[in-house]
């Protein structure tokens, strides 16, 4: 094991090609192999690489292609978990929320005010809600802004889609929002700069067990169909909804360790900018969120037990009707008009086993160690992703006798004040479409300079991917050359915001040319 712990402020190294990644995976012996490139796998790889370990990570689909691009995109303490009595989870989530926003990725984790409408039909009494919001603010040291009652006019100004209702009072609190898939990509990029190697479209189909101990995996390169093996001293299974499938590769008799619950979201166009999100309390402790997201409105989510193949999860017409109906408890009818829906997506929560309803189940991380020593981790929250990764990497590297990860947070590559990056982008590229400088600063931080560099010699790369949108063609080029994008879906859905804005077909035509001919192939099954 190499022993030099690395800082996070490293210059970005040349990005390896897919062939170079494959070559390393086959040739080297790693301290740690992480299976699964969602938020938890990425943060585990990052923590281990930061400790100086030799790290490999593979994902059977695209990085963040499953749950970690299908969340509500909130970095939050989780107000509703207070209602479940989970003070410890809320306190820890608040702490991680602040680290994410201040140090880890200030460009990607943005503050957001929330408004809770309280009326006669609300499942909790107004005093209970005000007390809950007070405790919630107290658990974060009241460091995020004013909590408590808002004048209706102020609430309607901040969230212009709120239904005007004289019987309601409005209560404010604060959390953060992010772009989940981009956060994962930033962590993988950071791990890569620190020496880790990661590969998407590389599915683990078997585990290598030597002397009763897991020592690597058999992998299929989904792009070429070729098979190869990876050798590693420790293996972490961070495959989210597939966690038990992988556990059974180690021990065919392993009993289920988790259950799944499906959550769907809709993205709607809105006619006026929103400056705050709305949290509508629903029965059974559930809430309906209406969240401003890149000039649009993100609505969700549902919470239904799911027992099928995780790869088949899709949003349905029934999900759409439920989401719009629940949002309508607080929003004006023209805001939740089905004609405004631009896209939809669905993902699977991984929950501890139990008899309670999925909505009432605590969002705990489930960690198990299998017969051959594979560490499996699933569940938890995007908000606490960094901490979960540090804990799992520590457990895994302890078994190899290597140096352990630093639990203290560190910045991801690109971490910066987005306003500073925006101003610099505007200075360097005055011809950027309106809104693109702020958009790129938020998605990439200082890496936005690298994204746009090729546009100095090819100015057409500054054109929007779809007219009127803030994503530009240079992002598609960057996605393929530096972010391992293999399909148009990877570019449009997870590296840019084009697909969620509802411009998938138009976008596809414009970005296909950036993929190598060998990779310009049909997309993997869409998740929305
Ligand atoms: C509807 C919904 C809303 C949510 N909203 C929030 C929120 O607002 N805030 C918050 O903090 N949390 C939220 N969460 C929780 C959060 O999204 C998850 O905790 C987090 O994304 C889980 O990440 P993961 O890495 O464990 O799993 P995943 O992101 O699912 O990653 C698992 C990866 O493993 C890969 N894989 C599977 N099998 C194999 C194999 N054989 N070989 C190689 N790779 C494989 C998959 O392709 C996948 O990419 C939400 C979850 C859901 C479902």
The DSSP secondary structure of 411-446, one letter per residue, reads PPTT---HHHHHHHHHHH-TTSPTTHHHHHHHHHTT
Instruction: Tell me if 442 CB under 6 Å of ligand 1.
Output: no
Given a contact cutoff of 8 angstroms between Cβ atoms, the answer to whether 375 and 84 are in contact is no
Residue 72, ligand 1, Cβ within 6 A? yes
**Which residues share a beta bridge with 461?**
none
Give the other-Cβ count within 10 Å of 10's Cβ: 12
Among protein residues, the one with the nearest Cα to ligand 1's atom 27 is: 240
User: Could you tell which of 45, 66, 486 is best to mutate to test the pocket of ligand 1, judged by most ligand atoms within 8 Å of the CB?
Assistant: 66
239 lines ligand 1 (CB under 6 A): yes
pLDDT tens string for the chain (528 positions)?
333 333 344 455 689 999 999 999 999 999 999 999 999 999 999 999 999 999 999 999 999 999 999 999 999 988 877 777 778 888 899 999 999 999 999 999 999 999 999 988 887 788 888 888 888 888 888 888 778 899 999 999 999 999 999 999 999 999 999 999 999 999 999 999 999 999 999 999 999 999 999 999 999 999 999 999 999 999 999 999 999 999 999 999 999 999 999 999 999 999 999 999 999 998 877 899 999 999 999 999 999 999 999 999 999 999 999 999 999 999 999 999 999 999 999 999 999 997 777 666 666 899 999 999 999 999 989 999 999 999 999 999 999 998 899 999 999 999 999 999 999 999 999 999 999 999 999 999 999 999 999 999 999 999 999 999 999 999 999 999 999 999 999 999 999 999 999 999 999 999 999 998 655 444 443 333
> Which numbered atom of ligand 1 lies nearest the CA of 263?
1
b/e sequence 116-127, b meaning 16+ C-beta within 10 Å: bbbbeebeeebe
Residue to mutate, 25, 38, 380, ligand 1, most ligand atoms under 8 Å from C-beta: 38
- 220-224 LR contacts (CB < 8 Å, sep 24+): 221/22, 222/60, 222/61, 223/18, 223/486, 223/519
Token code pair at residue 27: 């040739």
CA torsion sign, 478 to 484 to 486 to 489? Answer: negative
CA of 380 to the centre of ligand 1 (A): 9
In this prediction, residue 359 carries a pLDDT of 66
Q: Which residues share a beta bridge with 177?
A: 74, 110
Task: Please work out whether the CB of residue 383 comes within 6 Å of at least one atom of ligand 1.
Answer: yes
Residue 184 to residue 68: CA distance in whole angstroms: 8
Give the single-character DSSP code of 525. P
Whether 242 lines ligand 1, by a CB cut-off of 6 Å, is yes
**Euclidean distance between CA atoms 139 and 412, whole angstroms:** 26
**174 exposed, middle or buried (CB, 10 Å; 0-12, 13-18, 19+)?**
buried
Q: Torsion angle of alpha carbons 405, 416, 100, 193, nearest 10°?
A: -30
216, 207 in Cβ contact below 8 A? Answer: yes
* Residues in CB range of 480: below 8 A, 6 or more apart: 491, 514, 515, 516
Dist. CA 376–CA 441, nearest whole Å: 35
CA 417 to chain centre: 20
349 lines ligand 1 (CB under 6 A): yes
Using alpha carbons, select from 129, 134, 132 the residue that is nearest to residue 118. 129
Minimal-distance CA residue to ligand 1 atom 2: 71
* Distance from C-alpha of 326 to C-alpha of 202, rounded to nearest angstrom: 39
Distance from Cα 293 to the centre of ligand 1, integer Å: 20
Is any atom of ligand 1 closer than 6 Å to the C-beta of 291? no
| C-alpha–C-alpha distance, residues 223 and 518, integer Å | 9
- Cα separation, 137 vs 145, whole angstroms: 9
Distance from the alpha carbon of residue 204 to the mean position of ligand 1, in angstroms? 17
Distance 265 CA to ligand 1 centre (A): 15
* Residue among 398, 377, 364, 407 nearest 40 (CA): 377
Which residues does residue 349 pair with via DSSP β-bridges, in sequence order? Answer: 261
- Most informative mutation of 34, 68, 202 for ligand 1 (most atoms within 8 A of CB): 68
* Residue 522 CB contacts under 8 Å (≥ 6 apart), including other chains: 487
Whole-angstrom distance, CA of residue 350 vs CA of residue 313: 13
Omega before 109 within 30 of 0, i.e. cis: no
What values do phi and psi take at 269, rounded to 5? -80, 150
**How far apart, in whole angstroms, are the C-alpha atoms of residue 90 and residue 72?**
17
50, 20 in Cβ contact below 8 A? no
* Distance, CA of 442 to CA of 102 (rounded, Å): 14
pTM reported for the whole predicted model: 0.95
Q: Whose CA is closest to atom 4 on ligand 1?
A: 71
- Give the atom of ligand 1 at the shortest distance from the alpha carbon of 378: 26
Question: Is the preceding omega at residue 301 within 30 degrees of 0, hence cis?
Answer: yes
Question: Which atom of ligand 1 is found nearest the CA of 42?
Answer: 25
Q: Rounded to the nearest 10 degrees, how much is the dihedral formed by the CA atoms of 349, 105, 178, 422?
A: -160
Estimate to the nearest angstrom the gap between the alpha carbon of 58 and the chain centroid. Answer: 17
Is 55 close to ligand 1, i.e. is its CB under 6 Å away? no
Nearest one of 75, 67, 61 to 105, comparing CA atoms: 75
Query: CA angle, corner 158, sides to 183 and 468, nearest 5?
Result: 60
Q: What is the residue with the minimal CA distance to atom 26 of ligand 1?
A: 240
**Pocket of ligand 1 contains residue 59 by CB under 6 Å:** yes
Tokens 């959550």 appear where?
Answer: 263
Residue 35 Cβ contacting ligand 1 at under 6 Å: yes
Alpha helices, DSSP H, located in 210-277: 243-250
Tell me, using a 6 A CB cutoff, whether residue 39 lines ligand 1: yes
For 131, the enclosing helix (H) or strand (E) is helix 126-139
Pocket mutation for ligand 1, best pick of 109, 382, 384, 487 (most atoms within 8 Å of C-beta): 382
* pLDDT given at position 517: 64
Q: What are phi and psi of 412, to 5 degrees?
A: -80, 160
Q: Is any atom of ligand 1 closer than 6 Å to the C-beta of 378?
A: yes
- Does the C-beta of 240 come closer than 6 Å to ligand 1? yes
């Amino acid at each position: 094991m190499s022993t030099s712990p690395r800082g996070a402020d490293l210059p970005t190294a040349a990005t390896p090609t897919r062939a170079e990644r494959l070559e390393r995976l086959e040739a080297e012996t790693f301290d740690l192999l992480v299976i699964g490139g969602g938020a938890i796998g990425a943060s585990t790889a990052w923590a281990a690489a930061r400790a100086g370990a030799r790290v490999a990570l593979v994902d059977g689909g695209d990085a963040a292609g499953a749950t970690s691009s299908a969340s509500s995109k909130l970095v939050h303490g989780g107000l509703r978990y207070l209602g479940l009595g989970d003070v410890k989870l809320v306190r820890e989530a608040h702490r991680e929320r602040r680290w994410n926003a201040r140090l880890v990725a200030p460009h990607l984790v943005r503050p957001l005010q929330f408004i809770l409408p309280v009326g006669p039909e609300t499942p909790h009494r107004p005093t209970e809600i005000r007390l809950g919001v007070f405790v919630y603010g107290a658990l974060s040291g009241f460091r995020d802004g004013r909590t408590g009652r808002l004048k209706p006019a102020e609430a309607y100004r901040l969230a212009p889609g709120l239904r005007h209702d004289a019987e309601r009072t409005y209560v404010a609190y604060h959390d953060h929002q992010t772009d989940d898939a981009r956060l994962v990509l930033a962590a993988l990029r950071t791990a890569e700069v620190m020496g880790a190697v990661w590969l998407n479209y590389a599915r683990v189909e078997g585990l290598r067990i030597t002397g009763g101990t897991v020592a690597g995996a058999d992998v299929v390169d989904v792009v070429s169909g070729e098979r190869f093996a990876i050798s590693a001293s420790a293996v972490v299974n961070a495959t989210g909804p597939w966690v038990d499938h992988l556990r059974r590769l180690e021990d065919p008799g392993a009993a289920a360790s988790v259950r799944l619950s499906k959550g769907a979201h809709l993205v709607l166009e809105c006619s006026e900018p929103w400056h705050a999100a709305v949290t509508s309390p629903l029965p059974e402790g559930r809430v309906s969120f209406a969240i401003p997201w890149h000039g649009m409105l993100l609505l969700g989510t549902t919470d239904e037990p799911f027992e099928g193949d995780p790869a088949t999860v899709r949003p349905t017409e029934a999900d759409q009707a439920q989401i719009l109906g629940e949002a309508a408890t607080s929003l004006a009818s023209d805001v939740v008009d089905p004609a405004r829906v631009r896209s939809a997506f669905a993902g699977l929560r991984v929950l501890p086993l139990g008899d309670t309803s999925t909505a009432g189940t605590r969002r705990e991380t489930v960690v198990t160690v299998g017969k051959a020593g594979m560490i499996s981790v699933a569940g938890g929250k995007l908000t606490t992703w960094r901490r979960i990764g540090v804990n799992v990497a520590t457990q895994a590297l302890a078994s190899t006798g290597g140096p352990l990860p630093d639990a203290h947070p560190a910045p991801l590559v690109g971490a910066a004040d987005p306003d500073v990056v925006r101003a610099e982008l505007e200075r360097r590229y005055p011809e950027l479409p309106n809104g693109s400088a702020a958009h790129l600063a938020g998605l990439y931080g200082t890496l936005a300079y690298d994204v746009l560099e090729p546009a100095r010699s090819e100015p057409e790369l500054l054109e929007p991917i779809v007219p009127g949108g803030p994503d530009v063609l240079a992002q598609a080029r960057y996605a393929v050359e530096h972010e391992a994008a293999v399909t148009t879906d990877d570019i449009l859905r997870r590296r840019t915001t084009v697909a969620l804005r509802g411009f998938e077909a138009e976008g596809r035509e414009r970005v296909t040319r950036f993929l190598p001919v060998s990779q310009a192939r049909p997309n993997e099954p869409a998740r929305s």
